[in-house]
Chain A
């Protein structure tokens, strides 16, 4: 090579920013004795029946490719699951694709709908992948900040304010990572009116649907008039404790799916065959396990929210997922300072809120997907930390 590597790289690759949690990960990973509330995945291991079914499928030699869209048997189970759980009707033959994680499904959705110059609204604070995926698809991600005043719930007005003639689509994740905020049917209906008015497509990330605690979960595709405009994203990672399997799925009107399937076919071919057998078992026989995990998260959520509020970190009660998103403004520190000092002084890892968008500044994300014993110890350490800070502010 005559020139430096940089000369060979695409503008797209160069412009892509490294994940904002990377630096923090490196720091936390280098330390001993850290209690981590920074983990974005369940503390449960995948239910044994699912693992066992997968082992059996390997023993039986299910090692070939499957149909691009995934095993029809699995798509039929997904279709039945969406019908009984969320009251939405998708044809397993041409409306569902099994993907390598919900992440691939989101990527497919953006690649299928975004033209250069198109704007996609991203409701923030949000999962770190959405905006880069829009950019990779050639579009422009436009952050739409939510406000802590109403528990980080996106409102029709906030969406209206961000809409331009270039706006093509909006991505919403509910229950949300990092805020845990779950939108109710009524709130989704209000959003739907705005979506209809401006003729938008909605990429709806419902990966935390199973982890909804207070109100019954409503799928956006089930809202009047939204079925035709919704690309529904879901998967097995969170509710079924199957993050490392990288198995997700999308469901959408057939014409969208046809185009997404071409992209999936060329980039991925299909999701791993043996794992799809595990997913079939997950959908058929994991109801009780999923329910028991949900109950366990709900109890921990209640405990963590109550304790954080008691130690002076204001925290709304999130309706879903396994995150709480308390304000750390009382300490006078920025999100990054808080996270870094907490890690160095008390060995507790949390994720600074600004990693999830500017509107996350002043907040931290704490995952309660960890044992009660660990949570109790972590919160004890956080209390000491906050008392030192708040004491210092008062002086």
Chain B
């Protein structure tokens, strides 16, 4: 879909911070508030804006730690539907937080989130592996998150060190 430069500007601004008000966006793109609201609504309806998730560092919250695994899956594609059918099927599980079709040594890359390692393990053995087209799975448990969606975790080393007034 072809968008104009103002629409692209608006997307870039809310991609960085969706809490910013329509009035402020309007100032930033030299437009008016009403038009910005309409544009955003249109982009939502067109499913160009998919959702407004919030990035939370759960590992900092006691008792809320997550176990995350990245799973490489080899599947047998089916005539007529290719990888889509099995990919759609897997993507419906709520444990699956992302799913991509990959080039290279395996076919699907899946991120699975669970409360415990046991939860993730049972998802793999009871839900994922038994699917007919799934040939094999390799599960990698994530040990620590350093960066996610462009945001660095624990990036306190890059604070503002500038002097208050400089020429």
A25 touches B27 (CB 8 A): no
For A375, the closest partner residue in chain B by CB is B24
A29 touches B164 (CB 8 A): yes
B165 at the interface (CB under 8 A from A): yes
In the complex, which of the residues B12, B17, B158 contacts A45, with contact meaning CB atoms closer than 8 Å? B158
B30 touches A41 (CB 8 A): no
A127 partner residues in chain B, CB cutoff 8 A: 167
For A350, the closest partner residue in chain B by CB is B165
For A376, the closest partner residue in chain B by CB is B24
Q: Please report which residues of chain B, range 54-79, place their CB below 8 angstroms from some CB of chain A when the two chains form the complex.
A: none
Which of the listed residues B29, B160, B162, B163 has the most CB atoms from chain A within 10 Å of its own CB?
B162
Distance between Cα atoms of A140 and B50 in the complex (Å): 62
In the complex, which of the residues A43, A299, A349 contacts B164, with contact meaning CB atoms closer than 8 Å? A349
What's the least CB distance linking B25 to chain A, in Å?
A: 9
B166 touches A302 (CB 8 A): no
Contact with B along A307-347 (1 / 0, CB 8 A): 10000000000000000000000000000000000000000
Number of A-B contacts (CB under 8 A): 62
In the complex, how many residues of chain B place their beta carbon closer than 8 angstroms to a beta carbon of chain A?
Answer: 18
B30 touches A36 (CB 8 A): no
A38 partner residues in chain B, CB cutoff 8 A: 164-166
A29 touches B163 (CB 8 A): yes
In the complex, which of the residues B9, B29, B165 contacts A349, with contact meaning CB atoms closer than 8 Å? B165
B13 at the interface (CB under 8 A from A): yes
A28 at the interface (CB under 8 A from B): yes
What's the least CB distance linking A99 to chain B, in Å?
A: 18
B20 at the interface (CB under 8 A from A): yes
For B20, the closest partner residue in chain A by CB is A372
B28 at the interface (CB under 8 A from A): yes
Distance between Cα atoms of A36 and B166 in the complex (Å): 10
A25 touches B163 (CB 8 A): yes
B163 touches A299 (CB 8 A): no
For A355, the closest partner residue in chain B by CB is B167
Which of the listed residues B20, B30, B164 has the most CB atoms from chain A within 10 Å of its own CB?
B164
B28 partner residues in chain A, CB cutoff 8 A: 299-300, 302-303
Q: Please report which residues of chain A, range 19-35, place their CB below 8 angstroms from some CB of chain B when the two chains form the complex.
A: 19, 21, 24-25, 28-29, 34
B165 touches A302 (CB 8 A): no
A295 at the interface (CB under 8 A from B): yes
A12 at the interface (CB under 8 A from B): no
A39 touches B29 (CB 8 A): no
A295 partner residues in chain B, CB cutoff 8 A: 12
A355 partner residues in chain B, CB cutoff 8 A: 167
In the complex, which of the residues A25, A28, A306, A351 contacts B30, with contact meaning CB atoms closer than 8 Å? A306
For A31, the closest partner residue in chain B by CB is B164
In the complex, which of the residues B9, B158, B162 contacts A41, with contact meaning CB atoms closer than 8 Å? B162
* Chain A residues within CB distance 8 Å of chain B: 19, 21, 24-25, 28-29, 34, 36, 38-41, 43, 45, 127-129, 177, 295, 299-300, 302-303, 306-307, 349, 351, 355, 372, 376
The 7 A-B pairs of least Cβ separation, nearest first, read A38-B165, A306-B27, A299-B28, A25-B165, A303-B27, A40-B166, A36-B164
